[in-house]
Structure 1
Amino acid sequence: MTVLNSLETFGKSLDAIFVGDLEHLRPHLVVGRSEQASRSVRDALDDCWLDAIVESFNQTYGNTPRTAVLSIWSKWYFATALPPLICSNILLDQTPPLELEHFRIAFTPDHKIDSVAIPEGEVAPVQSRPGNRLLPIVEKHLYPFVKLYHARTGVSRRILWNNAGTLVEGLLTYLERVQIGGAARDECSDFLQLPNLPNGKRNPLFQPVAYVLLDEVPARRRRVCCLRFQLPDGKLCCACPKQEERVESSSVPDVEDVKG
């Protein structure tokens, strides 16, 4: 079997799991070669392209500090790339290439993300050890992405890791609610409760959200603010840790929750 066929087979398997309660998460992940124009992640984060992302965002939502724009854009990236990576890990016991150099981004005309593509590379079985099921995604993809994105944009590592972790926690919570994933899902959830990685380093996805009681109802709160409040409308994301009175939902696409 060629690498291309392996990716195509994986892509068909991936499509097959995004049905029913997962249909709304149908991935914008293209595996195998595609005719759609795309840019490598590194090229997509060069100064000219980042300027274009910020300009398009400001044209749509109003003038916003650059760091806040790029924090929100990172959330869109995580919302596109992470659900298919995690769901294939849990439901297929397989993972596509995770290294950043394998990933390409296709953009919409207004510089949002249309899809993330993996044109080549090996599909591998998940090497699961208790509590470490998410470790390859963290080590091979998230660490390099956060390092590069922080260096190119100035968005803090704490914000970026919390943007990723909040998305992961939301996805796993949703899978639990609809009773999908079983023991493999629970292994991923357990990873979020580990303060340290096997190598002794701090787990950057450790407890990304907290649940606080408001009027005796649990409310989900990020550990670190994503800077959404800096947009001209001043509205808060749905899991904002700030203590101000809640306001209406924003028109900016939000990815804090993964709901059906």
Structure 2
Amino acid sequence: MPDVLIAEVAARVPDSLGAYRGSVVAGSGGPGARPLTALQDPAVFDATLAAFGAGFGAVDRRILVSYWSQFYFAALATPALTALVCLGRALPLAFEATSLELDDAGRPARLLVAANAAQAPCGVAPGLGGLVEAHLAPFVALCHRQCGLAPRVLWGNAAVILDHVAGELGVELGRNVSACAEIAACLGRGAPPCGSGGMPLARALCPGAGGCRRRRVCCLRSGLPGVPSCGALCPRECGAGAS
């Protein structure tokens, strides 16, 4: 059952990623939970972003959605990659079978999967490439349709967070060798991924100064009041430092 698998995954999440240890759960969630497919309705999408956007006033909607997506990807990436790296399993996180619950500030807090789903992942092929095709690609397409945000910005957001989570899980140490090699390839750290599943992520980051990796495209978050840029990860910051 998914709840058993999810509990096992939560137990393997390292303390450094503990903020998102419980970000995937089995069940229907609270009264505010809504299926991800419902976000295809512009009115539902707007309502979902309302509380988050209220804290920033009148801002470019594309910037707001980009920043909101970073919280979304963190909630998704931590348990999803932990399952792959530590257990060699994919969580049942197909986009059309997943619901979303927000915290009080309107940030994505928990992704909900059906408690009675089969233990085998619903519509999710093995590996990070499977998650890209079954969940990330539909989510990126949804955000692009609803606000016009360029997909490459969203793929950059996803790649940065997945790359960070992979590092915290010790992907490069070779634990669960086949899963780690596939994740590294999808994130552009190894041989090119087989098929097209991981290619948007593999193209999203490039080498930066001091051996770190940076985005190819700015996430725009510094356009929000009170929100700093992402520092060395930002191509604008990197360009400014080199001039």
Identity %: 27
**Cα offsets for 1:63-119 (capped at 9, x unmatched):** 321100001111111110122111101111222223211110112233212211112
| Distance of aligned partners of 1:107 and 1:23 in 2 relative to their CA distance in 1, 3 Å threshold | closer
Tell me the equivalent position of 1:154. 148
Distance 1:136 1:48, change over 3 A: same
Tell me, what secondary structure is at the counterpart of 1:210?
A: strand
Conserved in 2, the CA contact under 8 Å of 1:53 and 1:110?
no
Question: Which segment is superposed worse, 225-234 or 62-71?
Answer: 225-234
Matched, 1:96 2:91: yes
TM-score scaled by structure 1?
A: 0.76
Alpha-carbon RMSD: 3.1
Higher helix share: 2
1:228 matched residue in structure 2: 221
Stretches of structure 2 lacking an aligned partner (at least 5 in a row): none
Runs of 5+ consecutive residues of structure 1 not aligned to the other structure: 1-5, 246-260
Paired residue type of 1:50: F
Q: What are the equivalent positions in structure 2 for 1:180-259 lying under 5 Å apart?
A: 181-183=175-177, 184-193=179-188, 198-199=194-195, 203-213=199-209, 217-233=210-226, 235-238=228-231, 239-242=233-236, 243-244=239-240
**What is the CA-CA distance between 1:153 and the residue it aligns to?**
2.4
1:31 maps to 2:23: no
User: Cα 1:231–1:144, aligned 2, differ >3 Å: closer, same or farther?
Assistant: same
SS at match of 2:235: coil
Shift of 1:148: 2.0
Match for 2:185: what amino acid? Answer: D
In terms of Rg, which structure is larger?
1
CA change 1:91–1:200 in 2 (3 A) is: closer
Deviation per CA, 1:18-41: give whole Å up to 9, x if none. 245553441311124445641011
Shift of 1:179: 5.1
**TM-score normalized by the length of structure 2:** 0.81
Alpha-carbon distance change, 67 to 160 in structure 1, aligned in 2, over 3 angstroms? same
CA contact (8 A) 2:85 2:171 kept: no
User: What does 1:42-57 correspond to in 2, within 5 Å?
Assistant: 42-44=37-39, 46-57=41-52
Residues 23, 75 of structure 2: 8 Å contact kept: yes
User: Residue 169 of structure 2 corresponds to which residue in structure 1?
Assistant: 175
Counterpart residue type for residue 103 of structure 2: T
Cα pair distance change 1:40/1:219, threshold 3 Å: same
**CA distance, structure 1, for counterparts of residue 172 and residue 142 of structure 2:** 35
